[in-house]
Amino acid sequence: MRKKLLLGNWKMNKTPSEAKEFALGCPKMVEYAISKGIEVGVAPTFVCLQTVKENAPKGLIVAAQNCNEHPSGAYTGEISIAMLKEIGIDTVILGHSERREYNGETTEKCNEKMKALLAEGMVPVYCCGESLETFEAGKTKPWVEEQIRGGFAGIEAKDAAKIVVAYEPIWAIGTGKSATKEIAEDTIGFIRSILRELYGEVAEDIRILYGGSVKPGNIAEYMSEPDIDGALVGGASLALDSYQGLIEGLVG
């Protein structure tokens, strides 16, 4: 049985004091989510990770938004997996469309990072998704298939089960134009069929989230679909009341 997961992607928002305020305000809702069998987390910026980790309840997953694939060395401006591990971080978002667009993050690079994270017992949250142009051209599936096959290349079944996939159509991110639950389920079901081809039954254990303008008012719709295991949420994950609304919608 796949556990539902709500992960807030804070992007480049919140100073450490603002992040701390969220962490101090969330214990009750985190406790409620856990009591309902749901995993919840947030992905603050690097400078806020430690303060959130120290001030939030233990049950809240605190994820990084990126990491470097090398163990250490001359990579100015980068953050290693060991650095994250040492402050208690075990989950890292990879290949978000904003990083693919503005930071040249390729599927090959995500694959290297994914392998490095898995070798350290960490959980990668691997993002994929198509542009509006690709969607309108009816080429979503081949596009996403390439991202999935490339991202999972060379990863064994025992490790693949630990990976979380997030399907985020780029045209739905931060636009207010969320994909319908039918579109989301169609693509996510397709992603699971590729994973089934690659890993057989293990594909049933891999969680696949939907992301793209998810809000308290629409999250429940997605959760009614059989292949959608939760949500990766940007804007609506920033405020405590909205985050609580997401949890309530997810619980149903």
Task: Enumerate the active-site residues.
Answer: 96, 168
The CB-of-168 to ligand PEP minimum distance in angstroms stands at: 5
* Dihedrals phi, psi of 189, to nearest 5 degrees: -60, -40
DSSP state of 180: P
Coil, strand or helix: which one is 93? strand
Place of tokens 């590729």: 194
User: What Cα–Cα distance (Å) separates residue 35 from each residue in 22, 26, 31, 225, 251?
Assistant: 20, 14, 6, 22, 10
In sequence order, what are the beta bridge partners of 232? 7, 211
CB of 33 to ligand PEP, least distance (A): 18
Contacts of 246 (CB under 8 A, 6+ apart): 6, 8, 214, 215, 216, 219, 231, 233, 236, 237
Q: Which two tokens stand for residue 149?
A: 């096959």
Interface residues with ligand PEP (CB under 6 A)?
9, 11, 168, 173-174, 211-214, 232-236
- Report the nearest approach of ligand PEP to the CB of residue 41 (Å): 13
| Smallest distance, ligand PEP to C-beta of residue 163, A | 17
Question: Is 168 strand, coil or helix?
Answer: coil
3-state secondary structure of 171: helix
Shortest separation between residue 90's beta carbon and ligand PEP, angstroms = 19
